[in-house]
Amino acid sequence: MSETNKNIMTYYEVDVSQFSETAKLMKKMSASLTAQWAVEGKQFFEVYACYRTEEDFLIVKSLLPKDKPEFPSVSKIFLAASRFERQIYSFMGIKALGNSDLRPWIKFADWPADAWPLRKDFNSAQCLKRVKGEYAWIQAEGEGVNEIPVGPVHAGIIEPGHFRFQAVGETIINLEERLGYTHKGIEKRFESLGWLEGYKLAGRVSGDSTVAHSLTYCRALESMTDFTLPPRAAWLRAIFLERERIANHLGDIGAICSDAAFSIMLYQFMRLKEHFLRTNQTLFAHRFMMDCVVPGGVSVNISAEGAAQMTQELAALETEFERLVKIYDGNPSLEERVRDTGILSTKKALEIGVVGVVARASGLNLDSRSLYPFAPYDKLQVKVPLYTAGDVNSRVWVRIEEVRESMRLLRELLADLPDTTIKVPCPLPERNSTGFAVVEGWRGEVMYWLQATSAGTINRCMVRDPSAVNWLGLESAVIDNIVPDFPLCNKSFNASYAGHDL
């Protein structure tokens, strides 16, 4: 009944009638739901649920007859399923029975209702005709309740999304997100790409996480065959990943302070980030290291001088960084804004299944670098910072400590850089095989699941950005906060729109 993949995941196939029973069992084992997706096979629809247990990931698969595309919902057992199931219905036309909210998600109400883009007979090149359709927003009634719609075009240089607040006075009583504005049909697009070019698209799922996404794609692809990565490539990949983490955390800490009207920190941190990005440009020929991770290894090497330059840069950065941390820590008016703002309790965090920085700020010890380490992380023993308050302040401190830890990791990686080749040919997967990988990006765990067709091409590429679950956390964290604190809460989550919308 089960087959074990050589890496961190196990498959179970259950009858569809057992789909929600399995979920209950998982809940009892304190597992959490990380993703749900569906595939159209030749004879059946396949629906998958991926659970994270303490040891590994369990992927539960059920087959559905084509004439009866439905499965029992698990949204009452795992909150995150509510959105996954809406997404499955929107893109595959497979109904989760028992989920009372199957309003289109990412798909908009003005698409034809029977457009199921991830089905195989869907012509992806077509231009969709807009139809009349209204999205059924959640309504609130009562004396003094007012509604504030925001977006999709926001007041800053940020991505598009729509937020609808219901507030009494200034206090938020409900927030409903509607996302999907940047949906580009990425999962469908993967199906028309070759295995060895997919990494470029993965690197543009969410531009700020280009290393994490292309790395996860490559690892999923490499997991499908007997492939051994040259050690130097593994080391360099980790260097890219940690540099991406530092750059984004620097930007985030500054931006959070700026949203609390303490703008000196924004400019100071942006200055540090800019210098850091310029080093990327010098050493790796790209400020965000796009296309540096490729199937079979990496595309750029580092010279001894380059490594020395990086070590020097770290020393300078550390001094500057610690000085700014002291300012953050010693400012009561800033503390007043960030402390106890946007609380996501441990209980709620667990219920939703948030990941990454957000999870660690709410007391969940989740970091795939330490839970499911691949080389070179298995040697590094990543220290995972843990805060329990779940407020904006905790999310800042997790980032601060992660910058420190990433600096330490970079030093260790540089000190012990293996002297091998950086790229070897990556074999193509066999027919009908599947691959899976999880990488801790700066936001949290990025997850890819790949499946080959019977002809050996890409049949399905499932992408799960950490934002897919963390957006739900934001909806919960802003309740009872005042509307003017929303930008602060939002920035402290800093979920990706593009990574979520795909």
Per CB under 8 A, the list member of 28, 67, 157, 303 interacting with other proteins is 157
CB atoms within 10 A of CB 483: 17
Q: Does 231 bind other proteins (CB under 8 A)?
A: no
Per CB under 8 A, the list member of 23, 324, 355, 407 interacting with other proteins is 324
Which residues make Cβ contacts (< 8 Å) with residue 153, sequence separation at least 6? 160
Helices (H), 223-363: 231-259, 263-284, 304-329, 332-338, 346-352, 356-361
Q: CA distances (Å), 386 to each of 41, 305, 390, 444, in order?
A: 42, 36, 10, 14
Name which of 82, 5, 68, 77 is nearest 36 in CA terms.
Answer: 82
Q: Does 192 bind other proteins (CB under 8 A)?
A: yes
Residues 475-494 that bind other proteins (CB under 8 A): none
Kindly tell me which of 41 and 117 has the beta carbon lying closer to other proteins.
117
* Contact call for residues 34 and 57 (beta carbons, < 8 A): yes
Contact letters (x/-) for other proteins, 110-139, by CB under 8 A? -x---x-x----xxxxxxx-----------
Q: Does 206 bind other proteins (CB under 8 A)?
A: yes
Helices (H), 260-303: 263-284
Closest distance of CB 255 from other proteins, Å:
9
Which residues make Cβ contacts (< 8 Å) with residue 195, sequence separation at least 6? 221, 295, 426, 428, 429, 457, 458
Closest distance of CB 9 from other proteins, Å:
27
From 64-72, 272-280, 348-356, 366-374, span contacting other proteins (CB under 8 A): 272-280
Kindly tell me which of 111 and 387 has the beta carbon lying closer to other proteins.
111
Helices (H), 438-478: 467-477
Residue with tokens 């065959």: 225
Kindly tell me which of 180 and 376 has the beta carbon lying closer to other proteins.
180
Q: Does 36 bind other proteins (CB under 8 A)?
A: no
From 42-50, 202-210, 363-371, 452-460, span contacting other proteins (CB under 8 A): 202-210
**Distance between CA atoms of 330 and 7, rounded to whole angstroms?**
45
From 196-204, 219-227, 307-315, 412-420, span contacting other proteins (CB under 8 A): 196-204
Per CB under 8 A, the list member of 133, 185, 418, 425 interacting with other proteins is 185
Closest distance of CB 268 from other proteins, Å:
7
Name which of 384, 499, 371 is nearest 446 in CA terms.
Answer: 499
- How many residues are given for the chain? 502
**Distance between CA atoms of 235 and 417, rounded to whole angstroms?**
7
Residues at the interface with other proteins (CB under 8 A): 108, 111, 115, 117, 122-128, 152-153, 155-160, 180-186, 188-189, 192, 200-201, 204-208, 210, 251, 264, 267-268, 270-271, 273-274, 277, 281, 287-288, 290, 323-324, 326-327, 330-331, 496-498, 501
